[in-house]
Amino acid sequence: MIKAIIFDFGQTLVDSADGFRSAEKIAKEKIFSHLFPYKNEGLWQTFLTEYRLIRKNYHAKSNFSRFAIWQAVYDWFNRRSDSKKLVQMETEYWELVKSMTTPFPETINVLEKLTKKYRLGIITNTQGQKTSGNHRIALFPTIEKFFETIIIAGESGLPPKPDPQPFLLCLEKMNIKSSEAIYVGDDFEKDICGAADSGLHPVWIKHRLVKRSWPEPKNNTDVTVITTLEDLLEINDNGFK
């Protein structure tokens, strides 16, 4: 019997896609102009290729520190970075993402309905910014109020998703079994595989308003896919109808 629904935060309850695109564009242009101050446009594609590869490798290790990623880019091009400027860039990066983050249109309405029947929780990975304060979820009290348990994985010694520990900790705090919980997230490896490996029922949200290329699963994982949070209202005591 399903007793709880646990969510990821970004791209699941809120849309930060435009914010990330804008922040990434600004960061890449600043770093490129510093690495190649004479506007060597011929190196732009080389820079982008290496930047994206480094970012992909860090994300694969669940390391989301922009400071660390940018430092690695400088190291790759054998250039010395200014740590203070990178810290400031990272702060500006997240401020822009926060300012351009909005709940999906249906989020509040769906949570209001779900909370009448299910207990709600959140497991989200840290932003990876050492100098930051609260996770950006704190900026959305109208969302935060629905959740009895919020786990920020990757902080205070807790490993980030897809490690089982954040999922198991959330279950422990909510005092429920893994078989009694559904986990909803947008990232296949971190959310869907992480939840499945921890015994939860995974639901992959590929929100219709998010413009991105969704990955093809490398295995034959049987997972429910939804394109709006409203689909969760079709859940019954044993899962989806």
Query: Residue 126's pLDDT is what?
Result: 87
Q: pLDDT per residue over 38-78, tens digit each?
A: 867 789 999 999 999 999 999 988 888 999 999 999 999 99
Residues of the chain with pLDDT under 70: 39, 128-134, 219-221, 240-241
Q: State the Cα–Cα distance between residues 79 and 27, nearest whole angstrom.
A: 16
Query: Residue 67's pLDDT is what?
Result: 96
Residue whose tokens read 């769906």: 110
Residue 189 is classified by DSSP as I
Query: Residue 113's pLDDT is what?
Result: 98
Query: Residue 237's pLDDT is what?
Result: 72
Contact (CB, 8 A) for 214 and 227: no
* 3-state SS track over 91-146: HHHHHHHHHCCEECCCHHHHHHHHCCCCEEEEEEECCCCCCCCCCHHHHCHHHHCC
Query: Residue 134's pLDDT is what?
Result: 63
Contact (CB, 8 A) for 200 and 6: yes
Q: State the Cα–Cα distance between residues 33 and 55, nearest whole angstrom.
A: 18
Q: State the Cα–Cα distance between residues 81 and 120, nearest whole angstrom.
A: 43
Q: Give the global pTM.
A: 0.91
Q: With the C-alpha atoms ordered 110, 115, 118, 120, is the resulting torsion angle positive or negative?
A: positive
How crowded is residue 147: how many other Cβ atoms within 10 Å of its Cβ?
A: 19
How crowded is residue 58: how many other Cβ atoms within 10 Å of its Cβ?
A: 17
Query: Residue 210's pLDDT is what?
Result: 92
Alpha helices (runs of H) in the chain, residue ranges in sequence order: 17-35, 44-60, 66-76, 83-99, 107-114, 141-144, 164-174, 194-197
